[in-house]
Structure 1
Amino acid sequence: MPVFASAAIDSSAAPAAFFARWADMATWPEWNLDTEWVRLDGEFTEGATGILKPKGGPKVRFIIERLEPGRRFTDVSLLFGARLTFDHRVSTDARGTHVAVEVGLDGPLAFFWRRILGRGIRASMQPDLDRLGAAVLESQAA
């Protein structure tokens, strides 16, 4: 997957807290401001599918391609002629929890979608991840 955007944060929250927020896809618009709504068909498991509605864009089908609870979550949006992949990773060390997200596009029309979506995704990734980190900490304090 050729990566064209990435973002990262460090947090005192546990990795499981980030996975709980990612699994609750209906709440994604609270921290991902480019998303109007997300619907997951069933449970948050590897192979599950759903539909995402970006603000100002058409509905997009996606699949949870990889899920390693507490470590990694990869979702793939199925665009015409391309696959838009968001790879979410969580790790811990002595300083706390590190959360990183990388975005890539592949497929015969990846160049087209990178021109259409690339700037917006790159601009929103870090602020969205910052909001997710704040939401996770807020939910733990409640």
Structure 2
Amino acid sequence: MNKAFLSLQTLLLMASLGIAQSNTHFSYSLETRAKPAKIWQIWSDVPNWQQWDTGLKSAELLGAFAIGTKGKLIPDKGPKSSFILTELVAGKSYTFKTKLPLGALHVKRYLEEKEGKTYFTHEVWFTGLSKGIFGSALGKNYRRILPEVMTRIREIAER
């Protein structure tokens, strides 16, 4: 019941913001009793992303956690890819981008604290001429596993 309510809340929030759920642009939000700093610690610890990202074999950041820093991702399936941190508000949000043929994959993670509760969101979108192709090829699976990924983050944060 709680998961369904949160999913409905997320859909309503996205609709109010003009963000429709599709395989080319989607997000998922959860509430946790953990403090925002704990979620931030998990998110910004790039070498340990595979602990909670079920589709990832390894991740590496080639420098400080800062705008413009590049990194590498090795998924469980598929080729190694590079990414770059494109936006950062320390302790609140960040976005990274992975180049794709004729497009890009963007991942934004952000935190909110309201009335003593922490809410965290993972948003994914594809851009460029190939966004429909990659939305179908990759987005469908990412969208399917995102609730599990977010639940794993919450479990780690609440330990």
Tell me the distance in 1 between the aligned counterparts of 2:154 and 2:64: 23
Higher relative contact order (CA 8 A, sep 6+): 1
- Asked if structure 2 preserves the Cα contact closer than 8 Å seen for 1:5 and 1:121, the reply is no
How many matched pairs? 138
- TM-score (normalised: structure 1): 0.91
Pairing 1:25–2:16 present: no
1:107 aligned to which of 119, 128, 131: 128
Q: Which residue of 2 aligns with 1:116?
A: 137
If each structure's strand is expressed as a fraction of its own residues, which one has the higher value? 1
Instruction: Give the residue type in structure 2 aligned to 1:45.
Output: A
Tell me the distance in 2 between the aligned counterparts of 1:38 and 1:48: 13
Aligned sequence identity (%): 24
- Asked if structure 2 preserves the Cα contact closer than 8 Å seen for 1:60 and 1:79, the reply is no
Pairing 1:43–2:64 present: yes
Q: CA deviation at 1:124?
A: 0.7
For structure 2, list consecutive stretches of 5 or more residues without a partner in the other structure.
Answer: 1-18
Pairing 1:6–2:23 present: no
Q: CA deviation at 1:38?
A: 0.3
For structure 1, list consecutive stretches of 5 or more residues without a partner in the other structure.
Answer: none
Q: CA deviation at 1:45?
A: 1.0
Q: CA deviation at 1:16?
A: 1.5
- Asked if structure 2 preserves the Cα contact closer than 8 Å seen for 1:41 and 1:49, the reply is yes
Instruction: Give the residue type in structure 2 aligned to 1:75.
Output: F
Could you list the per-position Cα deviations for residues 31-75 of structure 1 after superposition, in whole angstroms to 9, with x for gaps in the alignment?
Answer: 111001001101111111011011111011101111101211111
Could you list the per-position Cα deviations for residues 76-98 of structure 1 after superposition, in whole angstroms to 9, with x for gaps in the alignment?
Answer: 11112111111111000114101
Pairing 1:88–2:92 present: no
Quote the RMSD (CA, aligned, Å).
1.5
Instruction: Give the residue type in structure 2 aligned to 1:50.
Output: G
Give the secondary-structure state (helix, strand or coil) at the position aligned to 1:111.
Answer: helix
Q: Which residue of 1 aligns with 2:15?
A: none
Q: CA deviation at 1:100?
A: 0.9
If each structure's helix is expressed as a fraction of its own residues, which one has the higher value? 2
